[in-house]
A and B are shown apart, each in its own frame.
Chain A
Amino acid sequence: MRWDNTTLFVDDDPADRAFRAEVRDWVAAHVPTELCSRSTRIDPPELKPWHRQLHERGWIAPHWPKEFGGMGATLTQQIILFEEISRVGAPTPYPHGLNFIGPLIIEVGTPAQKEKHLPPILTGETTWCQGYSEVGAGSDLASLQARAVLDGDHFVVNGHKVWTTNGHFADWMFALLRTDPDAKPKHAGISMLLIDLKSPGVTVRPIETIKGDAEFAEEFFVDVRVPRENLLGPLNEGWRVANKLLGSERFTTGHPRNAAVLLNKAREVAELTGTSRAPGFLQKLASLEIDLLAFSAYYRHAASLHGRGRAPASMAPVIKIVGGELGQRASELLVEAAGPFGPQVDDLGIGNHAVNPAAEMFEMRRVTVGSGAVEIQRNIIAKRVLGLPS
């Protein structure tokens, strides 16, 4: 058996093995090579043709039920799709529509919401963003202050959202807003609204990241009128609605593949620069590969339990912590492997493709902070899993 850190374990189920082979062949024939292993960000508009291709093949929403245009696939099949797409360095579609709001609408949305929003998410026609964070509400998300006040048939929204991935490309935002300022505890007065970002009173401003691109944005809402039928789930139960997501979404955002791809880049770059001859590099690489192997095993174990409806409470925070920290360590090794080229702004050419170690590393800073910092995840495990006292 040859060592390949992107496919560490054999699929248990013969049907899964066959599915993997089918996906691998199709991806090889259809992958948009110009988007593969790109060191610069691929913004949503550029991703649309690839999104559409996956949609036409019927593979864009493996986890959605068949009646809504999905595959009704097992979690393992979803993971296989994700793995085989990212294996060749191709981008996977952004998760905000397909993995976040889509499943929420399917679960708690009205028939009208389903009819209006689900088809364009599948085709890639609409781009979604998540309006959760505010300047004063990061790790302490329940402190959010942006208001939605019911006025007849509409909510009137005022406030500010920030760190919104793809906010400046998005057509729609699913937002957590305060609808009852007096509620105790504070997360009891929050609702989820679907907001058309073309509405009057919305101003969107991109924010340049540490990496140097505009990955996210901030949005200002001044007396924005949102139809009442855009309330997702019951009034003042937005917190509960949002929490339905935590879990399966982690299977794509925290996939071990992210670290595997970075480690393979580190290996290539080390060959180029000669760092591969340094004993310290080999030691770090081996330790990281071993931790990656353990995380891959955990990940598959968790997916198998999740598929049986028996995933433990620790699963989502563990995947978030380990996936993030491992990816980060791998990206740091990539920069170290680059030696004197590490801090350079330009790409490094390796054969027919390019790597940008510093950019890769900067991008990985997000993963231990975004959607719940790893410290918060540790608090969750301490309290809810280990039963440690307050």
Chain B
Amino acid sequence: MELVLNEQQALLAETAERLAAASGGPQRARAVRDAGRDFDAEAWREVVRAGWLGTVIAERNGGLGLGLFDLALTLEQAGRRILMAPLAEAAAAAWVLSRAGTDAAGRTLAGLLDGARLIVPATRPSAWGLGGGLRDGSAAALGGVVPFVPFAASAHAFLLATDEIVCLVDRTTPGVAVETKTQVDGATVSTVRCADVVPAAVLARGAAAQDLTRALREFLVLAAAAELLGLAAGAHEITLDYIKLRQQFGKPIGSFQVLQHRAVDGFIDIELNRSLLYRVAAAFDAGTYHSAMVSAVKARTSRCALAVTRAALQMHGAVGYTDSHDIGLYYKRALALAARYGGELEHTARFSDLTLA
């Protein structure tokens, strides 16, 4: 179903579709993976140049003054074309920097927006992973571990966010160690360890830090869901094309009712998920949302994307089992994004806690 967009949003969505088609695609994603890189630097430059990061930044800070809803329009297109770039993470960092309002934050933001430096959030929501988190080591120095930080392998700096402190830490600061693991889609997540690290700048402490961190986590969850939804839609489109062409028993396999109903269920699943995502993103922007809605989005999108990509593999038959066919890459990417910032199980449990209380 088409979204109800204003002129600016319609233009943004259209540009995003074009840019993602030109600079994304499974072939490039595979090349990035095979080269052992965690994102497509060239595509990322295009994204930065297009100003997508600015969607969530106030106009006085050099942005477009829009919201997460608008960013989601671009993330969905990036996901649909498997454009491997740290858009969600960099946008989240930029959003927090823009809200922090300090001089240091402003300078850092400018560097992030013009593509000179990549800054990604390092935060550990209690809803995913087990325990831990950063602790204030002393008044000046931080110590602790943040696991599963996407794009940390390539980042110049981290936006460390906990319930006690939100601060910037340069990657080259003494005491910072990054240990990176590759995921099935070629992306990476890293464990960021800090031992007596002195932050480059402190953006917030205490209650302000807690609020900012909670908002950052919810932002990341919704942004990841937007990318994942686009990915599911992309896999579904590829599959529809395939079953319309692939012939068995003398006719296209898409003429068989069993496959038709499977394709319809995927279509409905994606349609409902899209309405949910954008409704909650708009509510997030307006500040009229319940935290349970954010978890609902990620729980459902994770389930939906995995179901759609699994069905896609099945409908592709043997060719879906090969590395060379694109559809397998969609499945792997779905696995990675479904788990990022919490999957169906974690977010369903969080939803349950928040709504049954």
Interface residues of A (CB under 8 A from B): 1-3, 5, 9-10, 282-283, 285-287, 289-291, 293-295, 297-298, 300-302, 304-305, 308, 310, 312, 314-315, 318, 321-322, 375, 378-379, 381-382, 385-390
Interchain CB contact under 8 A, A294 and B268: no
Interchain CB contact under 8 A, A282 and B352: yes
Closest residue of chain A to B4 (Cβ to Cβ) is A304
**B18 touches A (CB below 8 Å):** no
B236 CB, min distance to chain A CBs, angstroms: 9
Bound-state Cα–Cα, A382 to B267, Å = 9
Stretch at the interface among B71-79, B107-115, B160-168, B274-282: B274-282
B311 CB, min distance to chain A CBs, angstroms: 13
Bound-state Cα–Cα, A302 to B274, Å = 12
Residues on A with beta carbons closer than 8 Å to the beta carbon of B261: 375, 378, 382
Interchain CB contact under 8 A, A378 and B264: yes
Bound-state Cα–Cα, A315 to B267, Å = 12
Residues on B with beta carbons closer than 8 Å to the beta carbon of A388: 240, 243-244, 254-255, 260, 263
**B55 touches A (CB below 8 Å):** no
**B273 touches A (CB below 8 Å):** yes
Residue of A1, A286, A295 near B288 (CB, 8 A) is A1
Interchain CB contact under 8 A, A286 and B263: no
Bound-state Cα–Cα, A387 to B254, Å = 9
A260 CB, min distance to chain B CBs, angstroms: 12
Closest residue of chain A to B273 (Cβ to Cβ) is A294
Bound-state Cα–Cα, A321 to B243, Å = 23
Chain B 283-311 interface mask (CB, 8 Å, partner A; 1/0): 10000111011001001100000000000
B40 CB, min distance to chain A CBs, angstroms: 31
**B252 touches A (CB below 8 Å):** yes
Q: Which of B4, B243, B271, B273 has the most CB of A within 10 A?
A: B271
**B39 touches A (CB below 8 Å):** no
B201 CB, min distance to chain A CBs, angstroms: 33
Bound-state Cα–Cα, A279 to B289, Å = 27
Interchain CB contact under 8 A, A386 and B272: no
Residues of B207-223 at the interface with A, using a CB-CB cut-off of 8 Å, are none
Interchain CB contact under 8 A, B264 and A286: no
Residues on B with beta carbons closer than 8 Å to the beta carbon of A2: 290
Bound-state Cα–Cα, A304 to B276, Å = 14
**B2 touches A (CB below 8 Å):** yes
Interchain CB contact under 8 A, A379 and B257: yes
**Given A285-B352, A386-B263, A389-B254, A310:B243 Cβ within 8 A:** no
Chain B 327-357 interface mask (CB, 8 Å, partner A; 1/0): 0000000000000000000001101101110
State the total of A-B contacts with C-beta under 8 angstroms. 123
Residue of B4, B254, B260, B354 near A305 (CB, 8 A) is B4
Interchain CB contact under 8 A, A314 and B276: no
A275 CB, min distance to chain B CBs, angstroms: 13
Bound-state Cα–Cα, A1 to B272, Å = 23
B347 CB, min distance to chain A CBs, angstroms: 9
**B1 touches A (CB below 8 Å):** yes
A-B contact pairs, 6 of them (CB 8 A): A1-B290, A285-B356, A294-B275, A297-B279, A388-B244, A389-B252
B246 CB, min distance to chain A CBs, angstroms: 11
**Given A286-B348, A322-B272, A388-B255, A297:B280 Cβ within 8 A:** yes
Bound-state Cα–Cα, A305 to B355, Å = 30
Residues on B with beta carbons closer than 8 Å to the beta carbon of A282: 352, 356
**Given A312-B1, A386-B240, A289:B351 Cβ within 8 A:** yes
Q: Which of A282, A293, A302 has the most CB of B within 10 A?
A: A293
Residue of B273, B278, B355 near A286 (CB, 8 A) is B355
Closest residue of chain A to B282 (Cβ to Cβ) is A12
A368 CB, min distance to chain B CBs, angstroms: 14
Bound-state Cα–Cα, A379 to B299, Å = 29
B116 CB, min distance to chain A CBs, angstroms: 39
**B251 touches A (CB below 8 Å):** yes
Residues on B with beta carbons closer than 8 Å to the beta carbon of A293: 276, 293, 296, 300
Residue of A285, A291, A298 near B271 (CB, 8 A) is A298
A342 CB, min distance to chain B CBs, angstroms: 21
B215 CB, min distance to chain A CBs, angstroms: 15
Residues on B with beta carbons closer than 8 Å to the beta carbon of A287: 299, 348
Residues on A with beta carbons closer than 8 Å to the beta carbon of B292: 3
**Given A293-B276, A302-B1, A389:B244 Cβ within 8 A:** yes
Residue of A5, A300, A381, A390 near B264 (CB, 8 A) is A381
